A = this chain, B = another copy of it.
Amino acid sequence: MKNLIVVSMFLFSFNCMQAQKLMGFAEANAVKETEWEKKFDAQLDARNLDTWMKFLSSHPHHVGSPQDKANAEYMASLFRSWGYQTEIASYWVLFPTPKSRLLELTGSKPYKAKLQESVLKEDKTTGQLAEQLPTYNAYSADGDVTAELVFVNRGIPADYEELERMGIDVKGKIVIAKYGGSWRGIKPKVAYEHGAIGCIIYSDPEDDGYTQGDVYPEGPFRRADGVQRGSVMDMPVYPGDPLTPGVGATKDAKRLDRKDAITIMKIPVLPISYEDALPLLQSLGGQTVPATWRGSLPITYHVGPSKDKVHLKLEFNWDQKQLYDVIAKMPGSELPDEWVIRGNHHDGWVNGAADPLAGMVAVMEEARAIGELAKQGFKPKRTIIYCGWDGEEPALLGSTEWAEDHQQDLKQKAVIYINSDGNGRGFINASGSHTLETFFNEITNDVTDPQTGVSIRERKYANAVVNADKAARAKLLGNKYIKLGALGAGSDYSPFLQHLGIASINLGFGGENQGGEYHSIYDSYDLFTRFKDPGFQYGIALSKTAGRITLRMANADVLPFDFNTFYKTVNDYATEIKALLENTRTETETENKIINDKLYDLARDPKKQFKSPAVKETVPFLNFSNLENALTRLKDSAEAFQKLYGRASQLSAVKQKELNNILYMAERSLVYVNGLPRRPWYKHEIYAPGYYTGYGVKTLPGIREAIEQRNWKEAQESIDIVANALQSYTDQVKNGMSLLKEPKAY
């Protein structure tokens, strides 16, 4: 309820400015905007999404494939036909593809892994064998290793602590990990840190196979021989071309030597199906796994090591490939140097219908509809840039190289980056910069859910209440506020938000589009139109939602950013961090007492191997005062700014422009020039992907990860760095305030 009141109050303060209730619009402009949005909606046609997806997914379209280039040219020609200034921006990147792959179990029950997905008569593109990328993990090392196998659950650091307690060492071994629980690249990275010499990753049927539902083609879930391809580049260090960190991979860019590219995995890694995993898992001896490690194959899971050795041999073509980003601009009529950027990637691992085309075709329909409006006289105030990124799948290649290449312009001009990456039937999901939260809630009131006829916000609310546990439901009743998630990693917003400090949002529909086709040959037009969004109704809902974000950002008199929601969110993070430190302290005390009292030794089953953990260093107290003072100052300034906000519409055009500049540049002050410890490419002090989780976001990452790693000195330093960033941010808010107070400004 608390949050809802905040929104209502905020909307109310805008109400003083305009009756039409559009955040950031003067009254008359809000009326116009609403009319254009009605016309925009009327333009949207699901048949276009269908046509384009059919074409774009007709052949495998990964980086370097003929269809990848053909798709870029197809899209570029469409954007041009809709009136956009369109170019294909090319970069040249390192993109390894398999030369040879071998995985076999030796010994008395030998098995050679199939490493091949089945052709299905029910799915017409599955038979394009010659064009498909084989099942592999991009940026694995070359290697030829033979060793015993150990099962490491999800392969995250906590799993290795558990293994240590069980007396299992992976040094010199090959590990097998289940997909899930972290971004896939974390698994080989942590395995390598623990001395493993090879890594196999498989899709357990519990996660996206028969346990979840009927497998393809009866249902959309992963077949026994379905494999999840994917990158294992160490993207939590930096994404993009591993040879050109920080700069665009233009033809002539200076490149690192491959051996010096720290984001390339150090050991061979191979993803396999559960059909191929079964004999390997059956070869494992040793203890049965902890209950939380089990999958749902019809076996007893053991940790290993295996009785027989496993042989893994991988060789890659380490080729440079050309990327084709499609960049389509509609210049702003009043503020051409303020850029509203909307993107989705177009490359897929194979035919890539759900990922990424379901999102890409919604973007295209948004662009087409706006093109139609332009023919009817519509002129966006700000410049709108539509982007179809190439090479997202291997390493956010297209977006990163373009953003690095255009970083000077982007730092000055980018107002917002709006991302999607696929789409399906269900509920709106969104994460992003918390300055955008109030604005996003407003948008969700204005889009109707195609299945129920209520707003997408009402449907999201119903889902949250119904699926909450019984204890939480009463509290949720009536609270329709949508809290934005924080952005970690996994799509093209990373270079914009985390490298350049551009406010970003990532959105899409889902929850009724489950399946197990992810990164396999079964992510096809046939599967998508049967199971994921038949009739593309949610494609249209995405066009309406992201289209409104784009249109309102492009046309607003005053940019609809909210410093208060940002303050509140960061203050919550700071509270979490302090609680984390306190919990770490009390848990360490308890754990040390348990160890010293020998309770682990007394509780353990003497028939099983077990090693009591070592006593840990006592957790010190840290000085949070700089952070706390910075937050107090931010709170005061943000609240004071809000009180004056009603006057913004009366500003002269020049001063309004100045204010807008302050509003969108505020996010830049959260960027720290030296970046995060050990990964300077990541410069945003509020949001980053976890160094040991990958996809999973770490908020206030410098502080949080230092505490998690028990690096107290670094934690203290990071507290002060964040405090400084918040101070710069507050200075921006104060500049805005001064401007609003200035008598000459009106």
User: Judging by beta carbons under 8 Å apart, are A213 and B300 in contact?
Assistant: yes
* Selected interface stretch from A346-354, A382-390, A466-474: A466-474
Q: Which chain B residues border A376 with CB–CB below 8 Å?
A: none
Q: A594's closest neighbor in chain B, by CB?
A: B465
Q: Which chain B residues border A473 with CB–CB below 8 Å?
A: 590, 594
Q: Which of B213, B462, B603 contacts A466 (CB 8 A)?
A: B603
A733 CB → nearest B CB, Å = 38
A210 to B586, CA, bound (A): 38
A158 within 8 A of B: no
A595 to B533, CA, bound (A): 28
A1 CB → nearest B CB, Å = 14
Q: Which chain B residues border A586 with CB–CB below 8 Å?
A: 474
Q: Which of B296, B451, B602 contacts A458 (CB 8 A)?
A: B602
A257 within 8 A of B: no
A264 to B543, CA, bound (A): 63
Q: Which chain B residues border A214 with CB–CB below 8 Å?
A: 288, 300
User: Judging by beta carbons under 8 Å apart, are A512 and B605 in contact?
Assistant: yes
User: Judging by beta carbons under 8 Å apart, are B210 and A298 in contact?
Assistant: yes
Residue interface bits A597-636, CB-to-B below 8 A is 1, else 0: 1111111111100000000000000000000000000000
Q: Which chain B residues border A452 with CB–CB below 8 Å?
A: 601-602, 606
Q: A211's closest neighbor in chain B, by CB?
A: B294
User: Judging by beta carbons under 8 Å apart, are B210 and A599 in contact?
Assistant: no
A428 CB → nearest B CB, Å = 13
Residue interface bits A518-537, CB-to-B below 8 A is 1, else 0: 00000000000000000000
A459 within 8 A of B: yes
Q: A298-B296, A300-B214 are in contact. Are A477 and B606 (CB under 8 A)?
A: no
A215 to B600, CA, bound (A): 28
A677 within 8 A of B: no
Residue interface bits A544-556, CB-to-B below 8 A is 1, else 0: 0000000000000
User: Judging by beta carbons under 8 Å apart, are A470 and B210 in contact?
Assistant: no
Q: Which of B212, B297, B598 contacts A298 (CB 8 A)?
A: B297
Copies of this chain, tallied across the complex: 2
User: Judging by beta carbons under 8 Å apart, are A594 and B215 in contact?
Assistant: no
A83 within 8 A of B: no
Q: Give the residue among A211, A463, A512, A597 with the most B Cβ atoms within 10 A.
A: A211
A28 to B458, CA, bound (A): 77
Q: Which chain B residues border A465 with CB–CB below 8 Å?
A: 594, 599, 603
Q: Which chain B residues border A606 with CB–CB below 8 Å?
A: 451-452
Q: Which chain B residues border A572 with CB–CB below 8 Å?
A: none
User: Judging by beta carbons under 8 Å apart, are A602 and B459 in contact?
Assistant: yes
Q: A295's closest neighbor in chain B, by CB?
A: B296
Q: Which chain B residues border A212 with CB–CB below 8 Å?
A: 288, 300
A643 within 8 A of B: no
User: Judging by beta carbons under 8 Å apart, are A211 and B602 in contact?
Assistant: no
Q: A289's closest neighbor in chain B, by CB?
A: B213
Residue interface bits A447-488, CB-to-B below 8 A is 1, else 0: 000011010001101110111001001100100000000000
Q: Which chain B residues border A607 with CB–CB below 8 Å?
A: 512
Q: Which chain B residues border A451 with CB–CB below 8 Å?
A: 606
A462 to B606, CA, bound (A): 14
Other CB < 8 Å A-B pairs besides A459-B602, A461-B599, A463-B602, 7 of them? A212-B288, A296-B296, A298-B298, A465-B599, A466-B594, A474-B587, A477-B590
